[in-house]
Amino acid sequence: MPFLSSSSSALTFLLLSSLHLPVIISLNPNPTICNDYATRLPSSSVPEPLVYDTALNPSPPPSSPDRPVLFRERNGWCPYSERAWLAFELKRVDYDTILIDNMGGRPSWYSGTTPQAMIEGDKITESLDIVKRIDAFKGQTENTPTLYPKDKDKNVDEVISLFKDVFPKFTRPSSRAAFLFRSGGMPVERKTFERTLYETDELLKKTDGHFFCGEEVTAADVAWAPFLERYAVQLPALHDGLRPRDEERWPNLSLWYKAMEEKVPAYPSRVQGDAESWRRVLMQQGFGNEAGFEKLLEAAADERGDSSSCWPMFAEGRQWLANSPREEAAARLLRNKGPIIADAIRNGGANCDSAEEALSGIISGLVDGVELKNNEEAVKLHTFLCERVCVPRDMGFLPARAMRDLK
C-alpha cells in the first residue's frame, strides 16, 4: 500500500487505510522487533469493518446488501461527509465505508457528490437526509442518542435551517476551507466572522443545555459541528485573536465545544480533526484558498475539553479497537508497519533496518511510556510521522494526539 500525495498540493500525508495492498518497495524487516507488541495489542490483528479506498483500488467494492454503506470523501476534509460519518458513529451501526477522492481520482462507477449512503437498498445523496435515515435505521445499537427526538424534532429542524443564515454568504465553495474565503481568494472580513460567532452564541444561549437543542446531542449538533470545528482552528490563523472558543466573548459556544469533546465519545475518538491538520489544509492553494498563503498567523493555544472518558465508551464492544488512545495509535502503526517503513525509506531518508527499529521505539513509547529522546532514529521517524499524518483521515483525534505528544 503506497502512501499518497494530494493531487493539487505538494503536501503529503500518511494514509493508514484498512485496505491492504502490496507495498511497492521490497522490504526485509526484522519480524521479531514488533512481534511482542502485536501479542500485547491483540486488537491490531482483529479484522476491522470494511474501509475501501477507491483511490487505491478503483474497482467496484464488494457488496453487502444487509449492511449500510457510507460513501465519503477520502481525506476527511469534506464537512458534509463529516456530518454523515458522525451520525453513523453516533448510532453505532455496523456499516461499510467507501472512500471517494473528490480531487480527480473518482472511479468510473461512482457519480454525484459526497457523501452518499446506501441504506436498506435506498440511495441517499444529501448529508442531512443521510443523518435522518440512519437515525431511524432498525439495525442501530441500543442506547444510542436519538438525533431527531420526537419532542424536539421541529426545534432540531429549525436550528438546522438557521445554519445557512448564520454562516457567511457569498463565499467560495470549498471542502477544505468552508465559509472562509471570498470569490477572489481572500479571507472573509473579520466583522463577518464575528457576526457568525455572535449569532451562534445567541442561538446556543436559548437552549436548556450545552448542545443546540438541549442537554443531549441531536442532528442539529451534527449539522453544525464540522464547520464550527474548522472555525475553531482556522479563524485564529486568519485574523489575530479571533478565537471562537473565547469563553469571555462567546461563552455558550465555548461550552458547546467542550460538550462535544467531553460528552460525545465518537467525536474526539474518531471523527474530529486536529489543529495541525486543519492549519495545514488551510495552507493548500485551491478549493477556496486561491491566494496560496505563505504564512498563517501563530496558532492559538490548544483549547479543548477533557475527553479522557470518551475512549472507553467509544471502544466498548469493538474488538478491533485498543484499550486506550495510546495503544490505539500503536496498533494503527502495527497494522500499517510495512507501508510506514516504505514511506520512511522513500521519503524520509531511512533504511529498512533503522526504520523498523525506530518504529519499534515509537510503539514502545506509546505502550510502555519509554521516552524517545535517547533513540535518535525514533525521534526522526516520530517527527516524520507527525508531519505526514492527517486527522481524522488516518486516525481519530485522541490516538493522534497521543502519538503527537510523545517525547
pLDDT > 80? residue 290: no
Band of residue 103 on the pLDDT scale cut at 50, 70, 90: confident
pLDDT at 294: 54
> How does DSSP classify residue 42?
G
pLDDT digits (tens, 9 = 90+) for 83-101: 999 999 999 999 999 999 9
pLDDT at 359: 94
| Cell 525514533 -> residue | 378
pLDDT > 60? residue 20: no
Question: How are strands ordered across the β-sheet holding 116-119?
Answer: 51-53, 96-100, 69-73, 116-119, 122-124
pLDDT at 299: 63
pLDDT > 50? residue 12: no
- Tell me the CATH number at 107: 3.40.30.10
Return the higher-pLDDT residue of 63 and 213: 213
- Return the biggest CA–CA distance within the chain: 61
Residue 360 half-sphere exposure toward CB, CA atoms < 13 A: 16
Residues 195 and 252 in one domain: yes
Got the DSSP string for 362-406? HHHHHHH---STT-HHHHHHHHHHHHHB-TTTSS-HHHHHHHHT-
296, part of any domain:
no
| Cell 420526537 -> residue | 150
Residues 138 and 159 in one domain: no
CA 194 and chain centroid, separation: 26
265, 310 Cβ separation under 8 angstroms:
yes
277, part of any domain:
yes
Question: For residue 182, what are the domain limits?
Answer: 153-282
Highest mean pLDDT among 20-29, 180-189, 263-272: 263-272
pLDDT at 105: 80
Residues contacting residue 312 through CB under 8 Å, at least 6 positions apart? 323
Residues 122 and 163 in one domain: no
pLDDT at 293: 53
Cell numbers linked to 102? 473528490
Least confident span in 57-61, 116-120, 285-289, 360-364: 285-289
What value does the mean pLDDT take over residues 212-228?
Answer: 98
What type of residue sits at position 387?
E
Measure the CA–CA gap between 341 and 336, rounded to whole angstroms. Answer: 9
Residues 128 and 67 in one domain: yes
